[in-house]
Amino acid sequence: MIFAFIVTNHGAGKAISGRGFKEYRLGDYSNWLQNHVVNGKHWGKFRSCLIASKLCMRLGDNAGKASAFNMKDLSPIESGCCKPPTYCGFTFKNATFWEVPKSGPAAPDLDCLTWSNHQETLCYDCKSCKAGILDNVKNDSKKLVAINFCVLIFLSIVHCIGSCAYKGNRDERYKRYRGYP
C-alpha cells in the first residue's frame, strides 16, 4: 500500500484558462509509473484498446462548436488522446478533426508533430495520451489503496475481537464443567 501511494503521488492535470478540461504532461508522473505502464511493450496494448474502444469517435458524435467543446469536462484519456494539446494552436473543426495552421504548430513540441486527423492515429502516440492513461491509473490505484486500507482495518478489528473471545473462553475458566480425567 505504501509503495502504491508513493508511486502514484505525483502528477495532476493542469487547468487551461477558458477550458472545461485539463491537459496532462508525461513528465509530471513518477519514473516508475512511466517505465512500467506506458513505456516499452505495454503501450501497444493500451493503444490498441483505445482504438478498439472508439472512445474518441464517441466524443466526436456529440460535438458542436469550438466554444461548446472547450467547455466540455473531458476525461484525462479524452483530453490527452483525442485532441492535440492546446499549446499547439490547432484550429478546431470537430472533436477529432483539427486543422494545423499554415505556419505550422505554435509550439515545437513532439506531440504537435505526432497529432494526426486519422481516426486510428489521432494523438495515441503522444506523451499527453500516455499522461492521460497514467492519470487514470493513478486515480484507480489511489481508490484501490483506500479500499485495501479499509479492508485491513476491518480484518484487524475482527482479529482483535476473535483473539479476545478466544482468550476469554479458555478451559481454565470453566474447570467445574469439564468433567474428570
In the predicted model, is pLDDT for residue 20 greater than 80?
no
Separation CA 171–CA 181 (nearest Å): 14
Backbone φ, ψ for residue 73 (5° rounding): -95, 85
Q: How confident is the model at residue 89 (pLDDT cuts 50, 70, 90)?
A: very high
**Helices in the chain by DSSP H: which ranges?**
2-7, 31-33, 41-53, 55-61, 66-70, 76-81, 110-114, 127-168
Interatomic CA distance for residues 94 and 122, integer angstroms = 13
What digits encode the pLDDT tens for the residues 22-81? 788 887 787 878 888 888 788 888 899 999 998 888 876 665 788 888 888 889 999 999
Contacts of 81 (CB under 8 A, 6+ apart): 50, 55, 56, 122, 123, 124, 126, 128, 129, 132, 133
Average pLDDT for the chain = 82
Rounded to whole angstroms, how far apart are CA atoms 104 and 89? Answer: 9
Q: What is the pLDDT of residue 168?
A: 67
Q: Convert the pLDDT of each residue in 109-122 to its tens digit.
A: 999 999 999 989 99
CA 134 to chain centre: 5
Cα–Cα–Cα angle for 22, 28, 29, rounded to 5 degrees: 110
Q: Please report which confidence band the pLDDT of residue 128 belongs to, taking 50, 70 and 90 as the band edges.
A: very high
pTM across the whole model: 0.77
181 grid coordinates: 480425567
Question: φ, ψ for residue 39 (rounded to 5)?
Answer: -100, 155
